[in-house]
């Protein structure tokens, strides 16, 4: 992604995951917003954004963070929300192991409390080591935690997979961490 797309992706993440009210928007219960309304609100707030740029930011997004509705009128974030939105995801059996990228300074707390979702709606888990590595790297030297997701599932913990292949669950107790 070039700089303009990265900046646009960050703006869309802020508005579509966390703080739509910052530009005077409201998401519907499923996290969608009308694209025309989003463009108008963005421009009113001083953000230059038009439909072609928005479409590039969705299409060329490195993590496919956003989705446009099938009628081309609405947009939402695929995951990462702190707002309570219903993504309509059905529980799905995860692979035996999933991965969580973090940094050393959180480990003591994670060993005590397990993985907690913090401000986000879910704990986010990666399907492979390389992805978890990239997630951890956002905060410094990455540390990877292995999650016994299959065992969790068999013991009744729901898992969801977002449209961009991020695994989501409510929390991970220490007994499932390696």
Q: Find the binder of ligand HQG among 46, 52, 118, 156 (CB under 6 A).
A: 118
Nearer to ligand HQG, 40 or 131 (CB): 131
CA-nearest of 124, 81, 64, 65 to 100 is: 124
Question: According to DSSP H, which parts of 16-106 are helical?
Answer: 35-44, 51-59
Binding flag, residue 124, ligand HQG (CB under 6 A): yes
Shortest distance, position 44 Cβ to ligand HQG, whole Å: 25
Distance CA 83, CA 13 (A): 12
Binding flag, residue 135, ligand HQG (CB under 6 A): yes
158 phi, psi to nearest 5 deg: -70, 145
Q: Return the bridge partners of 6, or none.
A: none
Binding flag, residue 54, ligand HQG (CB under 6 A): no
* Stretch of 28-36, 41-49, 83-91, 109-117 lying at the interface with ligand HQG (CB under 6 A): 109-117
Which tokens belong to 4? 């303009």
Footprint on this chain of ligand HQG (rule: CB under 6 A) = 13, 63, 65, 80, 102, 106, 109-110, 113, 115-116, 118, 120, 124, 135, 139, 166
């Amino acid at each position: 992604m070039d700089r303009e797309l990265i900046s646009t992706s960050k703006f869309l993440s802020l508005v579509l995951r966390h703080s739509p009210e910052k530009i005077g928007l409201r998401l519907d219960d499923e996290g969608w917003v009308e694209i025309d309304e989003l463009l108008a609100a963005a421009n009113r707030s001083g953000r230059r954004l038009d439909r072609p740029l928005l479409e590039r930011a969705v299409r060329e997004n490195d993590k496919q963070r956003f989705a446009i509705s099938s009628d081309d009128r609405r947009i939402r974030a695929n995951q990462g929300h702190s707002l309570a939105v219903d993504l309509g995801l059905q529980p799905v059996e995860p692979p035996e192991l999933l991965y969580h990228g973090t940094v050393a300074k959180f480990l003591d707390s994670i060993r005590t409390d397990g993985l907690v979702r913090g401000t986000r709606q879910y704990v986010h888990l990666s399907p492979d080591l390389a992805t978890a590595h990239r997630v951890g790297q956002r905060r410094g030297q990455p540390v990877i935690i292995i999650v016994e997701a299959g065992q969790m599932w068999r013991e009744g913990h729901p898992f969801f997979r977002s449209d961009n292949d991020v695994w989501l669950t409510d929390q991970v107790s220490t007994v499932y961490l390696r």
